[in-house]
Amino acid sequence: MRRANGAILGILLATVAVPAFAADMPVKAAPPPPPPDWSGVYTGVAAGGAWGRQNLNTPVSPLNNLFGTSADRIFNGTPVLIQPDFDMGVCVIDNCNRLKSNGFIGGGFAGVQKQWGNWVIGIEGSWDWTSMKKSLSATTSDLENVIRIVPTTTVMIPGVVVTTVALTETTVAATVTRSVAVSSKIDQLADIRGKFGIANTFMGPNWLLYYTGGAAVGHFEKTLALTQTVSVAGDGTRTNTFASSTGDTRLGWVVGAGFDWKMTPNVLLGVLYRHHEFPKSTVSFIDDSGGSGRPVSFGTSRAHVDSVQGRLSWLFPIQ
Given this model, what pLDDT does residue 34 score? 67
**Tens-place pLDDT, residues 64-102:** 567 777 766 666 667 888 888 776 655 555 555 667 889
Give the Cβ contact number of residue 186 at 10 Å: 25
pTM: 0.75
Alpha carbons 280 and 142: distance in angstroms, whole number = 34
State the pLDDT at residue 182: 83
Provide the residue type at 57 as one letter. Answer: N
| Whether residue 305 has pLDDT greater than 80 | yes
Least confident range from 39-43, 99-103, 262-266: namely: 99-103
Give the mean model confidence (pLDDT) for residues 155-161. Answer: 58
| Nearest alpha carbon to residue 105 among 261, 313, 305 | 305
Range ranked top by mean pLDDT from 3-7, 61-65, 102-106, 200-204: 102-106
Q: What integer pLDDT is reported at residue 38 of this predicted model?
A: 94
The answer to whether 299 and 282 have CB atoms below 8 angstroms apart is yes
Q: Is the pLDDT score of 244 beyond 60?
A: yes
Tell me: pLDDT of 202 over 90: no
Q: What are the C-alpha distances in Å from 243 to residues 1, 12, 79, 114?
A: 125, 108, 26, 52
Beta-carbon-side half-sphere exposure of residue 159 (alpha carbons within 13 Å): 0
> Which range is most confident: 66-75, 101-110, 153-162, 217-226?
101-110
Q: Is the pLDDT of residue 59 over 70?
A: no
* Digit-coded pLDDT (tens) for 109-118: 999 999 999 9
CB neighbours (10 Å) of residue 112?
Answer: 16
Structure confidence at residue 281 as a pLDDT band (50, 70, 90): confident
| Per-residue model confidence (pLDDT) at position 295 | 73
Let me know: does 289 contact 55? Beta carbons within 8 Å.
no
Q: Which of 59-63, 148-152, 247-251, 278-282 has the lowest mean pLDDT?
A: 59-63
| 170-180: average pLDDT | 89
Q: Which residues contact 1 (CB under 8 A, 6 or more apart)?
A: none
Least confident of 112-121, 270-279, 293-302: 293-302
In one-letter notation, the amino acid at residue 204 is G
How many whole angstroms separate alpha carbon 22 and alpha carbon 24? 5
Res 64: pLDDT: 58
- How far is residue 138's CA from residue 122's CA, in Å, rounded to a whole number? 49
pLDDT value of residue 248: 86
Instruction: Band the pLDDT of 4: cuts 50, 70, 90.
Output: low
pLDDT of 12 higher than 70 = no
* Burial tier of 214 (Cβ tally within 10 Å: 0-12, 13-18, 19+): middle
- In this predicted structure, the answer to whether residue 169 has a pLDDT above a threshold of 90 is no
Neighbours of 292 (CB within 10 A): 16
Q: What is the pLDDT of residue 122?
A: 97
Q: What is the model's pLDDT at position 292? A: 55
- For the ranges 24-38, 204-218, 232-246, which has the lowest average pLDDT? 24-38
Measure the CA–CA gap between 290 and 181, rounded to whole angstroms: 17
Predicted local distance difference test score (pLDDT) of residue 192: 98
